[in-house]
A and B are shown apart, each in its own frame.
Chain A
Amino acid sequence: MKDRLQEWVPRLVLAPSFLLVLLFVYGFILYTGYLSMTDSRMLPSYGFVGLENYQKLFALRHWNTALTNLAIFGILYILISSLLGLFLAILLDQKIRAEGLIRPIYLYPMALSFIVTGTAWKWFLDPGIGLENVMQQWGWENFEFNWIKDRDFAIYTVVLAAVWQSSGFVMAMFLAGLRGVDNEIIKAAQIDGASGFRIYRKIIIPMMRPVFLSAFVVLAHLAIKAYDLVIALTGGGPGRATELPATFMYSYTFTRNQMGIGASSAIIMLIMIFSIIVPYLYSELKSGEQK
């Protein structure tokens, strides 16, 4: 009896966490998926309409704006944060003075909620009191920086703030990768007379491919989920120029009572994220088996 108990206890104590995640995440996602195929508006309603909501969704101008914005935002955000993060990591890898002080400073933006630091960004980006004004005061009278008020450019201010938030964090990922490279290989290359730059380009960076992949997955899922950045910085405006899928889902459905369409937009976002993380997890599992 006692032996059987010993055997069962581990499974038993794992169960609550397992079931909570299963129900809370997948159970609820299934329900959202179901709602997306019903005629729910303000309240859930169970009239089945098939894929009609998805057709309606993709015919919506606002949704297409949100998707375009996500594409612009996602590509620029991932690219710039990665490059900047790599640059910062290489910089910190040069035996910087007081590195222990610099690292937390680089990481701070990621540790703080953007809802809060967004205030400062709004201030900087505001043409009346922020950067534009300061530059004009200092003598560059033709300096213009009113992106945040400009429908066509406001999304780039979101990129700017997001890059500020994540670069230091990407730096930390890359720095860990750089430090993980075998010193012997680097020493050998140095003896062969390779310059510092060449060592990075030809030896170290190619060895860090897994780190790049992780960074991509982490940044991509952050981009698709992005919500508080937009809320804090532009509130989706001017007009709806900076709407992203997450803010679209919320604003469209709760202010317009279109639960069915909102649910379908949530499912589209889920599909996007799954298409990024499933291959990644699969490769992780496979590499785990080889070890």
Chain B
Amino acid sequence: MARAVTTNRKIITSAAAWTIALIIFFPIFWTILTSFKTEAQAINDPPLFFNFDWTLENYAIVQERSDYMKFLWNSVIVAGGSTLLGILIAIPAAWSMAFVPSKRTKDILLWMLSTKMLPAVGVLYPISLIFVEFNLLDTRGGLIVVLMLINLPIIVWMLYTYFREIPGEILEAARMDGATLKEEILYVLTPMAVPGIASTVLLNFILAWNEAFWTLNLTAANAAPLTAFIASYSSPEGLFFAKLSAASTMAIAPILILGWFSQKQLVRGLTFGAVK
């Protein structure tokens, strides 16, 4: 709202907004802070803020004890792989809906998008039965396919909204110049669509990275990504808070960075387009 606000009010509201921001950020801050403490310091009375000897030993111990890098690598492969596969399948579909729309395009789009709202438990049995049948349990390949399928509607729809912003005349001009469909998509559309594709990749990577239901239920020791790792590490009695914090910090670090750049896409994707 564009209107004059007095300086006093501005200071008060700014202070309030920042206070709330600090409260919201506190659990994340505390996790990061705790990761640099010893276990004794982590549960010290009273809690220690900055007046402790910072240590990196938790990180070393977490890596040594549970082969942290393996889980990290699984997360990267699974999130990256499912995103890549999803994008490859979705680009033609989004292209078709954006540039050669039919009467049913909007229905199909809404219908696809709505499936993302359905609970994962609805397809848990068929998926796990297929996984057992084809020996896919605890494999990265299986998980990649499942996560790709889960996020495919969002990918198609996001790409569609970005493709729609590309003027169709340019594609027509390319066609006039005798470009084949393949050339049209590869050399004309794709370069213009790169920002949109990048945004979609970013959002989907975050969604796949955070996915917990399927990673917890379909993986064990071999293919488990970080979410499953943290869940298994989580001891109820709080004896490992510093190590768990170190593991958590490493698990959220990439998202803390990616999240900063992709807030718009996050809101857009998670609200199913209600917020553009």
Partners in one complex: yes
Q: In the complex, what residues of B have CB within 8 A of residue A205's CB?
A: none
Q: How far does the alpha carbon of A126 sit from the alpha carbon of B5 in the complex, in Å?
A: 43
Q: Is A225 an interface residue (CB 8 A)?
A: yes
Q: Which of A242-291 contact B (CB under 8 A)?
A: 245-246, 249-250, 259, 262-263, 265-267, 269-270, 273, 277, 281, 284-285, 288
CB <8 Å contact, B241 and A123: yes
Q: Are the CB atoms of B3 and A190 closer together than 8 Å?
A: yes
Given contacts A96-B17, A111-B206, contact A28 B123 (CB under 8 A): yes
Task: State whether the Cβ of B114 lies closer than 8 Å to any Cβ in chain A.
Answer: yes
Cβ contacts A212-227/B at 8 Å (1 or 0 each): 0011011001001101
Please, which residue of chain B has its CB at the minimum distance from the CB of A100?
A: B263
Q: What number of B residues sit within 8 Å (CB to CB) of A? A: 93
Establish whether residues A17 and B112, one from each chain, have CB atoms under 8 Å apart when the complex forms. Answer: yes
Interface size class of A (residues with CB under 8 A): 35 or more
1/0 per residue, CB under 8 A from A, across B229-272: the answer is 01100101010010011001001100110011011001100111
Nearest B residue to A16, CB-CB: B89
Report how far A241 CA is from B52 CA in the complex, Å: 38
- A262, B260: Cα distance in complex, Å: 39
Q: Is the CB of A35 within 8 A of B17?
A: no
**CB of A107 within 8 A of chain B?**
yes
Contact A115 B271 (CB under 8 A): no
Interface 1/0 per residue, A8-38 and B, CB below 8 Å:
0111011011101100111111011001000
Residue in B129, B217, B262, B276 with the greatest tally of chain A CB atoms within 10 Å: B129
Contact A232/B231 with A17-B112, A110-B270, A266-B122 known, Cβ cut-off 8 Å: yes
The residues of A that contact B149 with a CB separation of less than 8 Å are 20-21, 24
Residues of chain A with a CB closer than 8 A to B117's CB: 217, 221, 273, 277
Flag the segment in B26-34, B61-69, B162-170, B193-201 that touches A. B26-34
SS of A interface (majority): helix
Decide: A112 near B1, CB < 8 A? Known: A119-B244, A218-B271. Answer: no
Q: Is B274 an interface residue (CB 8 A)?
A: yes
Q: Is B190 an interface residue (CB 8 A)?
A: no
Which of these, A102, A133, A217, contacts B21 with CB under 8 Å?
A102
Residues of B at under 8 Å CB distance from A?
Answer: 1-3, 5, 9-10, 13-14, 16-18, 20-21, 24-25, 27-28, 30-31, 34, 43, 45-47, 89-90, 92-93, 95-97, 99-100, 106-108, 110-112, 114-115, 117-127, 129, 149, 152-153, 156, 181, 206, 209-213, 216-217, 226-227, 230-231, 234, 236, 238, 241, 244-245, 248, 251-252, 255-256, 259-260, 262-263, 266-267, 270-272, 274-276
The contact sample of 16 A-B pairs, CB cut-off 8 A, is: A108-B24, A108-B259, A110-B266, A113-B211, A116-B252, A119-B31, A119-B248, A120-B27, A129-B43, A129-B241, A164-B24, A168-B24, A173-B267, A228-B213, A232-B231, A265-B121
